[in-house]
């Protein structure tokens, strides 16, 4: 497990009120999943993960319990990522 950052529970309560912890982690299994199914995305976006979870621009509810899709847009000097 790798620590990503901490969420503000007040922001994320739009998905669920039952948030147990404010800590966000990513497992080795999820990293492998990203690397296998989305080549280069993990390496490209890893540096943004803390910013994304701590300051989301959009939070979308998913069909999985206690799961949200978090969307952010960044400009890296060349293109929007």
What are the residue boundaries of the structural domains of the chain, listed by start?
2-71
* Matching residue, tokens 């007040």: 10
What number is the average pLDDT over the span 22-32?
95
Return the bridge partners of 59, or none.
Answer: 70
> Which runs of consecutive H residues, i.e. helices, occur in the chain?
9-12, 28-37, 41-45, 49-54
Would you state the pLDDT for residue 80? 63
What number is the average pLDDT over the span 53-75?
89
What number is the average pLDDT over the span 7-12?
93
- pLDDT band at residue 6 using 50, 70 and 90 as cut-offs: very high
Would you state the pLDDT for residue 17? 87
What number is the average pLDDT over the span 9-25?
91
What is the overall mean pLDDT for the chain? 90
């Amino acid at each position: 497990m790798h620590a990503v950052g901490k969420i503000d529970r007040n922001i994320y309560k739009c998905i669920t009120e039952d948030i147990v912890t404010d800590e966000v982690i990513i497992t080795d299994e999820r990293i492998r999943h990203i690397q296998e199914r989305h080549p280069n995305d993990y390496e490209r976006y890893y540096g943004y993960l803390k910013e994304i979870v701590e300051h989301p621009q959009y939070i979308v509810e998913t069909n999985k319990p206690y799961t949200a899709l978090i969307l952010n847009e960044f400009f890296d000097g060349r293109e929007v990522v």
